[in-house]
Structure 1
């Protein structure tokens, strides 16, 4: 029994030992397959990743190339646009020069920027004599001793039309009471106008002196100034040109106190048949001359009272004030009385009232105004009792309403 049992156990052990190599080889085979599959997977993944990276690299390179091409194209476009702008600006400047040269045939000379810079010490602030809407005004001195007033535009593009208007009109028209243009300069973005220097400056300086200044215009000088302005404006209107900016600041006085109308930046032509392209841009209808008449009337009030018409009527409570010179008797500058010119003063006061009538059609023409002032100067005004009449009626007061003032 014992032997049989031992034999059986021995057979089992033998069978077990015989099965183990088979299991080992089977496990090894499975492991080898798994390893191969895993390696193959890793290889495939690596190949895939490599291809993906290559694809991404190609894509990135393509994107980079596109960006570079766009950048180069953009730079090229910018360069082309910049060159085109420069070319257009150059052509515009050349066209502008050509237009002005054709229009300004009566201009005696053109001035270079270097000349004007040297004449004004490089536009030194010490040589600045005024500032306006269009630019700065400088006093200059040429090597030949010629004194200049140089207007340098602050913004050449913004005030291009004003520059062309002033240069065109002043070079086409010459008159005793129009400021002469000595020359002009167009260089790069600079636009400059040069005039002979007017030693007595603006009329406004004499009518509104500083407290530290002792300046005074006597009546004969004021009457001559009024006559000169009226003469210049009537002449301009006869040439179908409207100034549109008459005021004491736009009137210059030479060494003899002869008035010179300046500041033609807002001026316009009335003639619709003007051949110049610039003229067509500026044209207006004939009725607009009455704006100049109104403005002249306001300056005439300023010469007589020291205040413009609008300043005088700002807080007035009289009706039909512009038609009644007696309303302004107390406003007459006291320095103008007591010297024997009272009747002449009052005669011009009546003319001023006619110029500021509410409706343009009610106002006289500048030629009529000039003739009336001329007759007053010659003693043919026919109002020998003007002063006493105005003084006697100056206290008359009407109702509280005022007429609306229509300038155009």
Structure 2
């Protein structure tokens, strides 16, 4: 590789890194507690464990919905989701079917006795985790925040690739893993920056690209709704939300019968953002670790209770569904999350050292300046 080519890659690395570093530091710092969000949520639960006894009848979903709406008589059901580790049903309601998120109300109901549970987000820790999640995902800016952070993630990917390119000639002059601690402080940190950056490059690329995909969740889901969801519900186009809805419990059972071996993850009610005006959208997931992240929506006519269509999510939606847990290390148990946390901390060091190297070079007089990364190989001669 010619010297001019290396210089060009060095400029790409320098400026893409400088533009995104502050935001990537924020994402890494906020992402660290989010890796352990399940564990933190478990610690903040103060209610006694809920376990269904063998043979104990559970409330059906219509009874659960009635219980939730009795406390909110002026509202309608919007979503229903299900805890995987306990017999608890979560009901989201709002003043109208297309209510915005700010007007939604969330309640968890014990399916063994119909009692309402206090959500963990009501605790100070839960509120802090909600704040961290919003800061990490969109900086409280909604879709513009998502897209902006996605662009920062894309710049970070370019910075990683360009860093690997300019590190190649450096490796020809010095043994891998060498840290010249006896030289200047800046040169020592340059070696740490290069070494840690190369070691974590594969992980950072995976987490960075999955993060970029996650920021596109709104456009991806909107495209799915205008593409496949619209195609499946075309015969019902223009129909209003039914005044009298069919049994939600029967709708879920119909969906499960159409997709045997799958379990229900959540249900979107008619008129909401994940269904049509005339359907319950029952989203089912696989029962194995390999398939539980992939969703298959079943559309149930909310007026008659009849099955309209069942179709797996398209590849672009599946890419989003697979990216979300991979980004936070949710595919494995605690050991994988601990590995994710260690790599996150190392990435913080890489980002911080890169910022230090740039600031230190600007403060260093020209006659004392340390040669920048593309030319650092010369210092090893």
Quickly name the TM-score band, shorter chain normalised. under 0.3
- Greater Rg, structure 1 or structure 2? 1
**Please, what TM-score do these two structures have when normalized by structure 1?**
0.21
> More relative contact order in 1 or in 2 (CA 8 Å, sep 6+)?
2
